[in-house]
Amino acid sequence: MKIIFAAPSSAARGAVAVGVMAGAKLSPSAARLDQATGGALVRAIKGSRFKGNKAQMLEILAPQGVRVSRILLVGLGKPGEMKDTDLENLGGAVVARLATSGVREVAVMVDAIGAFKHKAPRRAARYGFGALLRSYRFDKYRTKEKAEDKPGLAKVTVMVANPGAARRAFADLEAIAEGVFLTRDLVSEPANVIYPKSLAREARKLTKLGVKVQVLGEAEMRKLNMNALLGVSQGSDREAQLVVMRWNGAPKGRGKGKTKAPLAFVGKGVTFDTGGISIKPSAHMEDMKWDMGGAGVVIGLMKVLAGRKAKVDVVGVCGLVENMPSAKAQRPGDIVTSASGQTIEVINTDAEGRLVLADALWYVQKKFKPRAIVDLATLTGAIIVALGHDHAGLFSNNDRLAERLTAAGTATGEAVWRMPLGEAYDKNINSAAADMKNVGDRGGGSITAAQFVQRFVDKGTPWAHLDIAGVTWDSKAKPTVPKGGTGFGVRLLDRLVAEHYEG
């Protein structure tokens, strides 16, 4: 979808969207349209329940006195209370409302209204960002869809008094959207298309943007004693991969000439998870194509950072495996020695993501000595029981990092909720046969999983673990997120980097 910024004009075609504030107070653009249509807007409002409350909408079809085919009244609520995410949601809601309406383009009017916290160009950019995010559609395999069922809206023109400033504000947001779309694409692809080697190839494409990409195969990982990760993969005919991506954007030669250690992001990339020998129930197993969601987020994030030329050094590491049952597969009761030297009794082969993270975390710490690490994984069903589909679970050994992630989640609408860690939970993964076992008791499953991961984090290294099992895929559309892959985490982590680690 094309997102264009232009100066206000009466030559708009198709549909036009104008704001109405709480109490049915018309914005300047809405007032001008009301006058041009002989009071049609006010009459429509009086004949409906529309009050201008936030996210309310009211359509006026074939209005007289203007060239447009319809006018869409958009509720702004109380302008002083509108956040960036509210503006994005309005842009997305406009696209969702008009996508299959028959109009090809819509002009969104953004007025200079003093009650708003931010000036019109910034608000215009956020409207456009929300519209772009909502326009995403994964339909490459649909060959028989009827034309009338396909979205016809192709162009959104955001009209604002200073379009140049809006375009500049939109540039970084567009780069973020491209990273989100890449993540959505990757988690939406079926497992016969996205598997460890093909996902590694997708990561390699980032070299065009200046990202340095290295891929380790099984032979190289075997030399590094990455037996926890390789154990998950041994039942599959598809070879495991470890993808290492580096974006070196930090300014050089400042201060004492010392470059700060990079920030690290680590993603679980199980491209399909049958559960292995501890096989999952067949119902909804097809959803396990997106068990590589953590890796998808890290790859999407690296695209964002390179796309907007972020002034920071970042390393992204993704452990890519397929978890399959076969005569070669890992068995419950097997004991493996991880790259860190710690031994693991594998009680349940369906608790595989933490095994992948164990060796990936060891590698990123040994190789890069990062100043902080955030790992992401669709790790446990237990986090869905605890938090549903509206928050990711946040676990951390560092209050400052946890607070930054929480604030970034609030600012982007990708909410996280901090969960506890502690010795009482950690004892649940002690093993009589090895240093630890890969599952604890049934209770607190997401917590004991995080405790397992924490055992592979060096003491003193700020670390956070995001369990994104409940937020990677959504069966219900949201204002800026269609059904399916959400891309959750890309915006959150980009905000974290931009606010606290750049420069």
Q: Would you please indicate which residues are annotated as catalytic (active-site) residues?
A: 280, 354
d(CA 488, CA 355): 23
Q: Are 490 and 304 contacting, i.e. CB atoms less than 8 angstroms apart?
A: yes
Torsion of the alpha carbons at 378, 381, 382 and 388, rounded to the nearest 10: 90
Give how far Cα 446 sits from Cα of 178, 395, 436, 438, 485, Å: 31, 10, 16, 12, 22
In 445-478, which positions are buried (b, 16+ CB within 10 angstroms) versus exposed (e)? bbbbbbbbbbbbbeeebbbbbbbbbbbbbbeeeb
d(CA 103, CA 92): 16
- Nearest Cα neighbor of 417 from 379, 389, 449, 440 is 389
d(CA 323, CA 320): 10
Chain centroid, CA 478 distance in Å: 13
d(CA 68, CA 203): 44
Q: Which amino acid type is present at position 495? A: R
**282 CB-contact burial (10 Å; exposed 0-12 / middle 13-18 / buried 19+):** exposed
- Nearest Cα neighbor of 241 from 266, 216, 222, 265 is 216
- Nearest Cα neighbor of 297 from 323, 266, 275, 270 is 266
In 183-198, which positions are buried (b, 16+ CB within 10 angstroms) versus exposed (e)? bbbbbbbebeebbbeb
Give the pair of three-digit tokens for residue 132: 């772009």
Q: Are 193 and 221 contacting, i.e. CB atoms less than 8 angstroms apart?
A: no
Give the pair of three-digit tokens for residue 76: 């702004």
d(CA 278, CA 153): 47
Q: Are 378 and 271 contacting, i.e. CB atoms less than 8 angstroms apart?
A: no
Largest CA distance in the chain: 82
Q: Which amino acid type is present at position 154? A: A
Say what angle helices 490-500 and 399-412 make with each other, to 10 degrees: 120
Instruction: Kindly give, in sequence order, each residue whose CB lies less than 8 Å from that of residue 454, ignoring residues fewer than 6 positions away.
Output: 395, 397, 421, 426, 463, 465
